[in-house]
Structure 1
Amino acid sequence: MRFLDLTTSALKETGPSYEPKPDLDIPERLLSQLWQRRAAKQASFRSPDGLQVRVLYSGRPGHTAGPDLRDALLEVEGVGLVQGDVEIHVRQRDWKSHGHGDDPRYNGVVLHAALDVQSSSTQLQSGQNAPVISLAALMGDDESEGDGRIQGGSLWEILSAQSYSRPSSAAEMGDLLDRAGDQRFIGKSRGFQTFLAEQDPDQTLYEGLMEGLGYRQNQHAFLLLAQRAGYAVLRRAAARLPVWEQASAIEAWLVDLSGLRPEGGSGDSQSAGTGFGTAMEPQVWHCFRVRPANHPLRRIFGAAGLVSRFLEPGLVEGCVMPQSLASPPCSPPL
């Protein structure tokens, strides 16, 4: 699974680590930029109790209220691959002073990173725990950083940092963007291959589609929904119903579990039996100034239609079959 509860029981009791006290006179924004540039280059990080964490992908910046980095990919000792959010602080105690411990938007945090660390884990609003690592290793000199200043660069500066030469003509520009796009696609494919090694192909595709439906602001929320209402669970529950009732039932289950059902509405998620997770907090979703067509509920309806359309062959097989062979759910008998 992509989202895991990294409880303190996963932390190895190898004794505390002793590191020089870091200079805490540094802006949090700069720490976040250092994380994005250097975290994946580190061999590994360790929590105060010795838990080893390796960063495979540092995550994408969170531009709205919520964690600093989204969808980071980590390899956690004793747990395996974990994907989720990362929160960056100068001091670990800033988590509490900033109110994150009472905010459900931070329940997707799988790693808390800080310069000044007091303990091995941080408790989320959900009651789960995320391991804590020290960022002191990122504070050393890095010759590749030039004069050490971290600044936002142009597109070509960003591509240059990835070993692409600056184009000198429109033709070279087009070729560079094509190659960079191909590399991004390959990188995404490798991520899917990693998850395919750990979970069912239908669930992997289902999570990818749900994440895409969330666009930028609700990607994590849709990913959580895909885990609360797993594809196999939806499929088993729907199989107990007449074909013409499956689409509406799947829609009702997803809406109930999202926590977005309008007041006064009714659902029947309990009738699906066991297997579903608990309903999400409505605050997890970003609905402010969202176009009606992009509202999470509209996209949940679309997800339900897609899932119900390919229940019989399975999501992977159904999505690759010729369109002429795919058919929508049956209508009820007259």
Structure 2
Amino acid sequence: MEERFLYHIWDEGHLTPDLRCISRKDLRVVYQGQFNTGRGPDFKNAIIELAGEQLRGDIEIHLKTTDWQAHNHHEDVYYNKVILHVVLKHNSPYELTILEDGSAVEILELEHQLSEDIMKLNQNLEIPATAAVYCDLLSAVDKDRLQAILHSAGIRRFEGKIKRFNTALSLSSFEQIFYEGIFEALGYSKNKLNTMQIAQSLPLAVLKEYRAEGMSAEELCAIYLNASGLLHKESAILRTEQREQILAAWEKQPFTATRLNIDWQLFRIRPQNHPIKRLLYIAPFIHKTLEEGLMQYFLRRVEGKEDLYKAFAAIWQEQSYLGEKFKLGKSLQNNIYLNIFLPVLCLWQRKVSGDTAQVMEAYRQFPGLQANYITRFMQRYLNSSQIKPVNSKAIFQQGLLDIYHRWCSWHLCEECKQHNKGV
């Protein structure tokens, strides 16, 4: 079994219901976390319940327990937020894994705790050396069948986002999960966990206290840029006078000296997409919402409006700051709307009013987003006449993403066919 297949097992929860760690402590997975494509542990922001205690942090997965030392994680500060070491086979004399900071975490051995279906699948699993050019699910089906499959998968992906936010809500608030979601979107794929770390380390509840004590928008911007380390990473993004103004605001503000250990991925990032530019826009915006509350700020502007997207887009006004104008590009606005705002709003409505018809219809009808490398990859399995209709609606694109992440990336063709045959 390859390590990447273990990622799939963890991500999809193919485990027995009564999990037990090497130490014999009972374990329950509340939320498996987000798969990490950058440096650090395999899954970020997971939530587990260990012997009745709820923990939130990262998950590292290996074939063998001793891979922890073999990969030098015991000397790497980026693994100090790991709360569980998941292994296929435990081959160490110790019951716990030691982190760089000296703390110890539990070990979960999967070998005898896999669900029956995944055990059978693994016995016959053969991963092809090259990607197939034909898909039994998507190729050579008519338009109605294809759209039914993608609609179902798109709804499943949307519900997965709602489930993720609902799990985070158990340890947080609507305001904070929305705030973290916005910051996650600001980082795109390369830096999404980095920008989200800023929101987690500088939560809204703390920022509200700072604002009550007199924190200005300029000081909040200085806090974001200095705490994240970004101000000292790039020299070409800011003019000298802008940098000096931000540094002066940082040194003057009395609120925090927080410094985060973030590994920014800045290679080949366009200037307009640089995290510094994003934070220069978002800082005054967040500051403006602190008194009313971020969630209420949005709700007041969209509730009762017939066109949810139009009301949402009107919120993101151009900001003038440091002698420069900043704005959020339309593709980023669309990303926040589709992947963050609508799932959070749907969760809010389910808990408050129970009426989610408008938000679900808004999701179903939203136009397609700009194609990414995954949707382009998946389009190879469609005939040429189907590509345009699939790209016409975001829900179909989201369906392609769901199928890719759930099955294609693991080459689980048979499992995919079985799961979707009733659609």
TM-score in terms of structure 2 length: 0.59
**SS of the residue 1:217 aligns to:** helix
**Deviation of 1:297 (Å):** 2.2
1:46-67 superposed Cα distances (whole Å, 9 cap, x missing partner): 2222222223444454334432
Alignment partner of 1:76 is 2:41: no
- Residue in 2 that maps onto 1:14: none
Relative distance call for 1:157 and 1:187 in structure 2 (3 A) is: farther
Relative distance call for 1:138 and 1:32 in structure 2 (3 A) is: farther
Out of 245, 251, 271, the residue aligned to residue 221 of structure 2 is 251
- Residue in 2 that maps onto 1:11: none
- Residue in 1 that maps onto 2:96: 121
- Residue in 2 that maps onto 1:316: 295
Alpha-carbon distance in 1 for matches of 2:269, 2:126 = 32
Q: Which moved more, 1:28-37 or 1:307-316?
A: 28-37
- Residue in 2 that maps onto 1:5: none
Relative distance call for 1:149 and 1:327 in structure 2 (3 A) is: closer
- Residue in 2 that maps onto 1:287: 266
* Contact 1:228–1:277, Cα closer than 8 Å, also in 2: no
- Residue in 2 that maps onto 1:226: 199
Alpha-carbon distance in 1 for matches of 2:257, 2:95 = 27
**Deviation of 1:269 (Å):** 7.0
Out of 142, 148, 154, the residue aligned to residue 124 of structure 2 is 148
* Contact 1:207–1:226, Cα closer than 8 Å, also in 2: yes
**SS of the residue 2:188 aligns to:** coil
Q: Give the 5 Å matches for 1:62-211.
A: 62-80=36-54, 82=56, 84-114=57-87, 115-116=89-90, 117-138=92-113, 142=117, 145=121, 147-149=123-125, 151=127, 168-211=141-184
- Residue in 2 that maps onto 1:214: 187
Alpha-carbon distance in 1 for matches of 2:223, 2:24 = 41
Q: Give the 5 Å matches for 1:295-314.
A: 295-314=274-293
Alpha-carbon distance in 2 for matches of 1:196, 1:35 = 21
**Deviation of 1:231 (Å):** 0.6
* Contact 1:92–1:118, Cα closer than 8 Å, also in 2: no
RMSD: 3.7
Relative distance call for 1:157 and 1:127 in structure 2 (3 A) is: farther
1:238-295 superposed Cα distances (whole Å, 9 cap, x missing partner): 2322xxx72111111112221222178635378343xx6841124x322233332332
Alpha-carbon distance in 1 for matches of 2:190, 2:50 = 26
Q: Which moved more, 1:322-331 or 1:96-105?
A: 322-331
- Residue in 2 that maps onto 1:13: none
- Residue in 1 that maps onto 2:405: none
* Contact 1:57–1:72, Cα closer than 8 Å, also in 2: yes
* Contact 1:318–1:326, Cα closer than 8 Å, also in 2: no
Amino acid at match of 1:229: L
Q: Which moved more, 1:193-202 or 1:307-316?
A: 193-202
**SS of the residue 1:80 aligns to:** strand
Alpha-carbon distance in 2 for matches of 1:222, 1:207 = 8
Relative distance call for 1:204 and 1:29 in structure 2 (3 A) is: closer
**SS of the residue 1:268 aligns to:** helix
* Contact 1:309–1:328, Cα closer than 8 Å, also in 2: no
Amino acid at match of 1:311: L
Relative distance call for 1:327 and 1:70 in structure 2 (3 A) is: closer
Q: Give the gaps of 5 or more residues in structure 2.
A: 234-242, 302-310, 322-423
Q: Give the gaps of 5 or more residues in structure 1.
A: 1-25
Alpha-carbon distance in 2 for matches of 1:34, 1:62 = 15
Amino acid at match of 1:181: G
Alpha-carbon distance in 1 for matches of 2:134, 2:315 = 45
Alpha-carbon distance in 2 for matches of 1:27, 1:58 = 19
Alpha-carbon distance in 2 for matches of 1:94, 1:48 = 16
Relative distance call for 1:32 and 1:330 in structure 2 (3 A) is: closer
TM-score in terms of structure 1 length: 0.72
**Deviation of 1:237 (Å):** 0.6
Of Structure 1 and Structure 2, which has the larger fraction of its residues in helix?
Answer: 2
* Contact 2:80–2:101, Cα closer than 8 Å, also in 1: yes
Amino acid at match of 2:267: F
